Chain A
Amino acid sequence: MIDPSEALASAKAAADRIVKVKRLNACLTPIKELRKSLAAQASAAHPSGVLYGMPVAVKDNICTLEFTTSCGSKILEGYRSPYEATAVAKLKAAGALIAGKTNCDEFGMGSSTEHSAYGRSLHPFDKTRVPGGSSGGSAALVAAGAVPAALGSETGGSVRQPASLCGVVGIKPTYGRVSRSGLVAFGSSLDQIGVLGRSVHDAARVLSVISGRDPKDSTCEERDSLRLPTVPESLQGFVIGVPKEYFPQDLDPAVRRASDRAIRLLRELGAAVREVSLPHTAYAVATYYIIAPAEASSNLARYDGARYGPRFNGSEDVRALYRTTRGEGFGPEVRRRVLVGTYVLSSGYYDAYYRKAQQMRALIAQDFRNVFDRGVDLLFTPTTPTPAFKAGEKLNDPVAMYLSDIFTVTANLAGLPAISMPIGRIKGLPIGGQLIGQAFLEDEMLEAAYALERAVPAGEEA
């Protein structure tokens, strides 16, 4: 059916394209190693797989046997996992080629890829800007045309936000749709592996392959893998809600224009569009920045230098080993979140912060259910409040950085599927629009995305 030499050709071409965009610092795998591995993978790849020969880059916080898994952190520099993530195993079983590890904010904590221990990645259109994050390396590689798709991961928007900023498609599936086994944990109740792709179809077919049950992950749902919908003729019958909280007074006018245009197109495609309200949206970022760091403080406790990863000086007694390894191995943003997380879980503060945040999370999830219960199928919002920002602009202002996730964290808190797709340009920089779907109804979400993708002039100024 397929000529085996095609996979080899595809592997070589992918490696060549990745070399070409080396300046982006999007791929962390040394090029020699990458070429060698791609060639080996291509000759071993099973030709009957649905992704036969397709190069897929993988975020550095997802375990692979082929390459190191450092999570963009010094504390895991050179770490080789003895097992691979279920998502990676499924990609390989489908014939895909793992095209290197992509740069990211350390352990996924960041929105610009500037918090990587291996240097920031550059925006493919403007080297002074960030590609977003934390899956910025994956987004930049896809946007630069080096790979058709890449795995990313989300805790609060880390796939959709860089997708929006780089002008590619980013899907975060329903929590429990894709196994987290082998995804290095940040905020376990929020984490999901997602896909970045050149098109809705490229991203969706990769998602379909990696989705489905996994006995290694108790939070992964007992479901078959996602079935891809066909491209619909129209969106007749779809009810699309536009939550007013996502269009605040001070929203960037260009972002508003791009969103309005997309909403108009959805209407023209036959969808009924309705304004809706998600009243607890204002608390989402605060809620997220309690729950995610709390879980992170526990998830990152294992990096102590005792068993794997580099050790730093001062390993004379075990406390000193912990102090120096964690003090020097983690970057400032990770340390900040570990401290915040430790604080909010402390006895005496637990009720005031963590428990409250969990209660608010339930209310946020209820907001979505209320809207969906009233006949709304999907929600449309901007993905990010702005296009790609300048490197360094928000580096010393964590809150400003956190607010770039303001439209994306809600889907993680509620566990819902969401997709970001390009809906236009603002002074040449891409901006994304977001569809949020109902739990495990990715197929409906993708149908609407297919239709909007065809209709929207993504390359035109909004």
Chain B
Amino acid sequence: MAGAWETVIGLETHVQLRTLSKMFCGCSAAFGAPPNTNVCPVCLGLPGALPVPNEQALRLAVRAALGVGCSVHPRSIFARKNYFYPDLPKGYQISQFEQPLATNGSLSYLSPDRGIATATIQRLHVEEDAGKSLHDRFPKQTAIDLNRCGVPLIEIVTGPDFRSPHEARTYLLTLKQVLEYAGISDCDMEKGSLRVDANVSVRRPGDTALGTKTEVKNINSFAYVEKALTVERDRQIAVLESGGTVAQQTMLYDSKTNNVRPQRSKEESHDYRYFPDPDLPPLVLTEEFIAEQQTLLPELPTKKRERFVEKYALSVTDAAVLTADRAVADYYEAVVHAGAEPKTAANWVMTEVLEDAKDHGDGLRVPPGALANLIGLVRGGTVSHQAAKRVFAEVAERGGEPRNVAEALGVMQVGDAGVLAAWVNEVLGAHTTEVARYKQGETKLLQFFVGQVMKASRGKADPKLAQRVLEEKLAS
């Protein structure tokens, strides 16, 4: 009975900033080093060691904030979030609480249900990551790897704006696009560089008050976002429909069983006793610093999508596909700039180019100029659309100029009426019955004859010209 319920979802996304070093020390932030090798007194939380903010991390965080339309505050405060856990060596995480870096943003995305929708970004703040507890490394013992400890993160919190798990996922993909576009993060959920927690509740349509929410954690891949949220949404509906009430708690998603379970009370969050970190003065950002980050922000997907619709007369859906990846969008524009007709270029990029890229490690193997030339050959009738695909594949594989490749492949269309006439005569001679039927008024057989001519010419005939020659011959 999901139809009788409205789903309300808000997301908290943690994103690892793409910096060489950690948030508060000079250790490498690289993923995958042997355990406990990227560490120093600061990120190990040794007695007496003090944090010093990483300026590059602040640049990226500000760019991210501007990218999701937030107001960046000239003064923000680092705060300590206190809790005990063995992979948190200081006993607190440096984060931001009362005065975050940025607030009040929005990100528009293409909702599968509602068209263009807007997610409000309530806040964006900077923090450091914790280490990792490894429970499966040694039997009955927990090992701790502190390489990740102190790696810079931003947390991006939305309002309760999503009305379906699918919408939430779409927002997340849009956010990922923005962050990838601007070089802020590689957003790899499997490596943990993008992590998402979701607040989920349901209510009757028309209700203005929110239902009791639960927080869903441990969603560790894009593929599971929708599944996890759906499972929790359905669980809440089932609870309510059987007359129960939803308990406000944290639910852990298990991707193996596609189920959620309440977090044990031991794992529950306690009072974090946030207070301003006395080791770090207020973070003061000058107008110039913020403005500089704005100039370093590229055109973002939404803007680009809108521009593509406007400038190239593309559909919103096509523009969305083309702008999903910055490299693809740039490629598309280069093809257009090289003279290809925008709509045709879009079709080529969305089909041949993206399929080829998918099979070849996201490589865009045919240079944009070459694709534009190939499109020109089709348009001029020199190569058929079908043949052009073969030329494309060949150019992708071995390079070369499309015209030369088409010649070498022998797929140049024959536009000479004299040469065509020979194939036409051959076809008409071989199909006398059909010719008779045509002449008795069965004119739809014309396409059959065109097909036969194409076959006889092994695709080299220009189909339009072939049709004209056929019509002339059959009329005589």
Measuring CB to CB, which residues of chain A are less than 8 angstroms from any residue of chain B? 62-63, 69, 71, 76, 79, 81-83, 85, 180-185, 187-189, 215-219, 294-295, 297-298, 300-302, 304, 306-308, 318, 322, 342, 345-347, 350, 354
Contacts and interface: CB of A to CB of B under 8 A. Distances in A.
Contact of A294 (B46, B49, B275, B280): B275
B90 interface: yes
B435 interface: no
A181 B49 contact: yes
A11 B144 CA distance: 43
Contacts of B271: 346-347
Q: Please give me the 8 A-B residue pairs with the lowest Cβ-Cβ distance, nearest first.
A: A301-B91, A189-B278, A188-B278, A345-B273, A184-B47, A182-B48, A306-B86, A184-B48
Interface in B253-278: 271, 273-275, 278
14 contacts: A62-B48, A83-B46, A83-B49, A181-B49, A188-B279, A217-B52, A218-B279, A218-B281, A295-B275, A298-B275, A302-B90, A304-B91, A306-B144, A307-B144
A224 to B, nearest CB: 20
Interface string B113-130: 000000000000000000
Contact of B50 (A82, A218, A301): A218
A298 B47 contact: no
A354 B41 contact: no
B427 to A, nearest CB: 84
B273 A346 contact: yes
Given A188-B279, A218-B53, A347-B273, A298 B80 contact: yes
B367 interface: no
Contact residues of B: prevailing secondary structure:
loop
Contact of A219 (B45, B90, B142, B279): B279
Given A82-B46, A354-B275, 5 more contacts: A184-B47, A189-B278, A218-B52, A297-B82, A301-B82
* Residue from A182, A298, A345 whose CB has the most chain B CB atoms within 10 Å: A298
Nearest to B83: A301
Contacts of A81: 41, 46-48
Contacts, number: 100
B273 A342 contact: yes
B48 A345 contact: no
B51 interface: yes
A301 B281 CA distance: 21
Contact of B86 (A180, A189, A318): A318
Given A218-B281, A298-B91, A306-B86, A181 B273 contact: no
A71 B48 CA distance: 11
A294 B277 CA distance: 11
Contacts of B92: 298, 301
B89 interface: yes
A424 to B, nearest CB: 37
Given A301-B92, A304-B91, A71 B50 contact: no
A68 B90 CA distance: 20
A1 B52 CA distance: 40
* Residue from B89, B91, B274 whose CB has the most chain A CB atoms within 10 Å: B91
Contacts of B45: 302, 307
B82 A345 contact: yes
B84 interface: yes
Contacts of A350: 273, 275
A295 B84 CA distance: 16
A61 to B, nearest CB: 8
Nearest to A217: B50
B267 to A, nearest CB: 12
A308 B44 CA distance: 10
Contacts of B53: 218
A215 B42 CA distance: 13
Nearest to B51: A218
A219 B279 CA distance: 6
A69 B144 CA distance: 25
B223 to A, nearest CB: 32
Given A82-B41, A218-B52, A302 B273 contact: no
A319 B144 CA distance: 16
A216 B47 CA distance: 14
A308 B46 contact: yes
A69 B41 CA distance: 14
Contacts of A63: 47-48
Interface in B275-326: 275, 278-281
B275 A185 contact: no
Nearest to A188: B278
Given A301-B82, A306-B86, A307-B44, A215 B91 contact: no
Interface in B81-114: 82, 84, 86, 89-92
A182 B44 CA distance: 14
B112 to A, nearest CB: 39
Nearest to A62: B48
A437 to B, nearest CB: 22
Nearest to A322: B84
Given A185-B48, A218-B53, A219-B281, A307 B89 contact: yes
Contact of B47 (A69, A188, A304, A346): A69
B140 to A, nearest CB: 11
Given A298-B275, A306-B86, A183 B48 contact: yes
A180 B49 CA distance: 8
Nearest to B273: A345
A80 to B, nearest CB: 11
A215 B45 CA distance: 17
Contacts of B82: 297-298, 301, 345
Given A81-B47, A181-B48, A298-B80, A345 B41 contact: no
A382 to B, nearest CB: 29
Contacts of B50: 180-181, 216-219
A69 B53 CA distance: 27
Contacts of A346: 271, 273
A295 B79 CA distance: 12
Nearest to A176: B281
Interface string B47-61: 111111100000000
B84 A304 contact: yes
A187 B45 CA distance: 16
A215 B26 CA distance: 12
Nearest to B25: A216
A180 B273 CA distance: 24
A347 B53 CA distance: 27
A298 B273 contact: yes
Contacts of B279: 185, 188, 218-219
A419 to B, nearest CB: 24
A306 B144 CA distance: 10
Nearest to A307: B89
Interface in B126-153: 142, 144
A218 B86 contact: no
* Residue from B46, B49, B50, B274 whose CB has the most chain A CB atoms within 10 Å: B50
A388 B280 CA distance: 37
A12 B144 CA distance: 45
A216 B84 contact: no
